[in-house]
Amino acid sequence: MITLFKKTPISLAASLGAMIAWEAFSAPQVFDFKDPKGVNNAVFKLDAPLESINGTANGISGTITYDPAEPNALTGRITVAAASLHVPNPLMKEHLHGPNWLDVSRHQEITFESRKVSNVKTSGTDATADVTGILTIKGLSKELTVPVRFTYLKDKLGARSNGQMQGDLLVVRSTFKIKRTDFAINPQAPTDKVAEDIELVLSLAGAAPRR
């Protein structure tokens, strides 16, 4: 390599350019998931025989460090503001935020922190993987593995910010189930009225602005 650099200034410049381009493409990027547009959301569904509860949360923040060339090196933490959970019935929402359910005054955040990424499959700008991490709800933490689909959108931040910023986007989609009683969410409720399984559908987009 040093011999090559010594040959001509043109080859030196070309090699350096190639190295910089490779670094720019392959370096891990930090994607910020704080979303002023309010698109990032988590849908939750509890489908019991007698009653179905369906709502969303959009108070999402956190960062994910992602390298499109090496998705298994992913690290990150996503936070959901517990008070942002919304259901259309006001009384149900009051109960949802109350001490029996999520106790949002004492446990203000729901977090997922990644620990390990496995079973990575890539196809173009898409990658699917099983992400193992620690989910904390109502102060109780549990390790779980969830299937996640990542879509790397290079240079798409400009289109999303009306040209105010330039950079890349990372879209994260995941659907998985958790047990209500694992996190002491209204544990006394009968399962015919409040389902034991909570289905979560995460739809998130993070931005990595170019500096």
Q: Interface with another protein by CB under 8 A: which residues?
A: 37-41, 43, 56, 58, 86, 88-92, 151, 153, 156, 159-160, 169, 171, 173, 203-205
Q: By C-beta, is 134 or 153 nearer to another protein?
A: 153
Nearest distance from residue 211's CB to another protein, in Å? 21
Q: What contacts 189, CB < 8 A, 6 or more positions away?
A: 180
The two beta strands, 167-179 and 197-209, are antiparallel
Q: How far apart are CA 164 and CA 158, in angstroms?
A: 6
Picking from 137, 89, 96, the residue whose alpha carbon sits closest to that of residue 113 is 137
Nearest distance from residue 11's CB to another protein, in Å? 40
Nearest distance from residue 91's CB to another protein, in Å? 8
Q: How far apart are CA 71 and CA 127, in angstroms?
A: 7
CB 63 within 8 A of CB 31: yes
Nearest distance from residue 138's CB to another protein, in Å? 24
Nearest distance from residue 121's CB to another protein, in Å? 20
Q: What contacts 95, CB < 8 A, 6 or more positions away?
A: 101
Q: By C-beta, is 162 or 188 nearer to another protein?
A: 162
Nearest distance from residue 108's CB to another protein, in Å? 21
Q: By C-beta, is 56 or 61 nearer to another protein?
A: 56
Q: By C-beta, is 129 or 204 nearer to another protein?
A: 204
Picking from 13, 20, 29, 1, the residue whose alpha carbon sits closest to that of residue 150 is 29
Q: By C-beta, is 9 or 190 nearer to another protein?
A: 190
Q: How far apart are CA 207 and CA 192, in angstroms?
A: 41
Q: By C-beta, is 41 or 183 nearer to another protein?
A: 41
